[in-house]
Amino acid sequence: MKFLLGAATAAHQVEGNNKNSDFWAMENMKYSDFDEPSLDAVDHYHRYKEDIDLLKKAGLNAYRFSVEWARIEPVEGEFDLEEVKHYNEVIDYCIEQGVEPVITLHHFTSPVWVITNGGWEDERVIASFEKYVKFVIGQFGNKLHYVCTINEANMGIQITAIMKRIMKQMGLQVGLNSPLQNGQPEKQEELAKIFNLPVGVVPNIFLAPKTEKGDDIIMRAHQAAVKVIKAQFPEIKVGVTLSLHDVQVVDDSPEAAQQAEKEWNAEFKHYLPYIENDDFIGVQNYTRSLISANGQETAPKDSKLTQMGYEVYPEALEHVIRCVAKDFHQEILVTENGIGTSDDEQRQEFIRVATEGVKHCIEDGIPVKAYFHWSLLDNFEWHKGYSKTFGLIEVDRKTQKRYPKESLTVLGKVGNKLFKM
């Protein structure tokens, strides 16, 4: 198969009206901590043909998107065939246009009933996810070459690490029910009602801080998904995606080296036993992490920052791919790489540097098979709402009119030149 050059989205962030999901419920709370609710998002659910056409016209040949568990199984054990039909139509349209569909089975959001049942810290989610995956793959697996089981399976552990740093500064202990998570009493009462939980217990959504047990549960859910996919369609290439920083040591002390090794082990290496039989790994990288003897350092003073507040550093992608390839010897797909910025010239330069780094890796024999830019569309950036712009296509949410940015054209031209598609 030729090199896959594309862009990525996530169902909840672009489709709109994902009303049976945990995030929809939390966005629409009276005491929500979201800046705004997703509502119609960018209406990709109804406008996917227009968006795929724009992707294709720019010279891209692949589209990574997620299918939404909360749409397909809104009630435990009840599968919505109309929603299955919708995703079949999206896949079919990709294929008709010569665009390779690469699907993700879980991208952060879950049905409300999953969280009521204990969420991603409860063993039962493994069997629930397995049943969902078995059903979904049975519906359209014959049309797919690549499937990502879980998006950024390590995100909960990363969130835990961030909270530990904050809580340490505050002189507090971190846990699943820490003050940072609990918030005001009114919010806790509302969460308890939505998810049918005792007041004060934090819902174990996918993006909640994870214990070691929760981390293990997520990876065993991934393994269960791989097994049921391979049982039905052994030819499909299956993998998981991980959020990975370019971990760099900034001083010569042994303490800094130990801290960096610990961080890389937490983000990547301890997952190797879970993924050793996978066909590929999805690498998702946005920036670097600077480590000294004192721990994680802030970006250099002269650094440019993204809208999300971290350093603009497109060189990180090449470094991460090389680090991953030392221990993982199957295919590597760059399933996300991008920049939140209102400056599209900055995005264009980011693309040039990042894709050049991918090319260097391929030239050195590393089996990188795809580059997906995040994101195809400006979209709902979770708690930040619509204020952060990662997209190659701008969307006027009042009219839902699409305005392709020059960066979309640049990605197509640069990618086709570098990867000789």
Nearest in space to 26 (alpha carbons), one of 151, 172, 207, 174: 207
| Chain CA centroid to CA 212, Å | 20
Nearest in space to 215 (alpha carbons), one of 242, 250, 255: 242
Tokens of 149: 């089981």
Nearest in space to 291 (alpha carbons), one of 242, 245, 257: 257
* Per-residue b or e along 378-405, where b marks 16 or more CB atoms closer than 10 Å to that residue's CB: bbbbbeeebebbbbbbbbebeebebeeb
Residue 53 buriedness (CB in 10 A; 0-12 / 13-18 / 19+): middle
SS3 call for 76:
coil
> For 143, which DSSP code?
G
Q: Is 152 one of the catalytic residues?
A: yes
Ranges of H-type helices in 298-369: 316-327, 344-363
Distance CA 314, CA 392 (A): 16
Whole-angstrom CA distances from 150 to 68, 153, 209, 415 are: 12, 6, 16, 26
Q: Which of 100, 121, 152, 318 is catalytic?
A: 152
Tokens of 148: 């990502």
Phi, psi of 357 (to 5 degrees): -65, -40
Distance CA 22, CA 122 (A): 16
> Could you please report the per-residue DSSP string of 159-179?
HHHHHHHHHHHHT----TT-H
> For 205, which DSSP code?
-
Beta 401-404 vs 393-396: how paired, if at all? antiparallel
Which residues carry out catalysis? Answer: 152
